[in-house]
Amino acid sequence: MTNLSGMLPEFGQLALIFALLVAAVQMVVPLVGVRRGQAWLMAYARPLASAQALFLIISLVILAYCFVVDDFSVAYVAKNSNTALPTAYKISAVWGGARRFSVVVGHHAGVLGAGRCLVQPIAATGYGGAGVVHHGDGVGGLYFVHPGNLQSV
């Protein structure tokens, strides 16, 4: 592996940390906007939800890449994969083993789609509530590529 691909688990963890930080902002700013009736704060709801979804997808894709290339420096990959598995099974292991994480990404896509039809205060409340839920899942999701789960090759 090249130096860049050896750093991918750390980039995945960084993406999860960014998603966690965005979720923290997402659960406060739009709800404060609803509470105070300030549209400019409510307007941050959708971009924050989109940013969080982007960071979650980046980290999930990196985790899938680690499975496909058999990067056993990630303990999660080492526990749930082996070199004899076909690529399709390795990708399935990502979705099967990280089902809660995958559900969060799917839920985020649904919230983003549904928010287009709603009045701004209702959409901001929905996005803020999703931020609360995903903030907790983001803390749990950090487990997948946490440095404590990395092992020497």
pLDDT digits (tens, 9 = 90+) for 4-16: 667 888 999 899 8
Measured distance CA(88)–CA(115) in Å, rounded = 34
For residues 124 and 34, the answer to whether their CB atoms sit within 8 Å is yes
pLDDT digits (tens, 9 = 90+) for 48-97: 888 988 998 898 899 889 999 988 888 888 888 888 889 888 888 887 76
Element (H, E) at 97: helix 87-97
pTM comes to: 0.69
DSSP label at residue 143:
G
Measured distance CA(144)–CA(48) in Å, rounded = 23
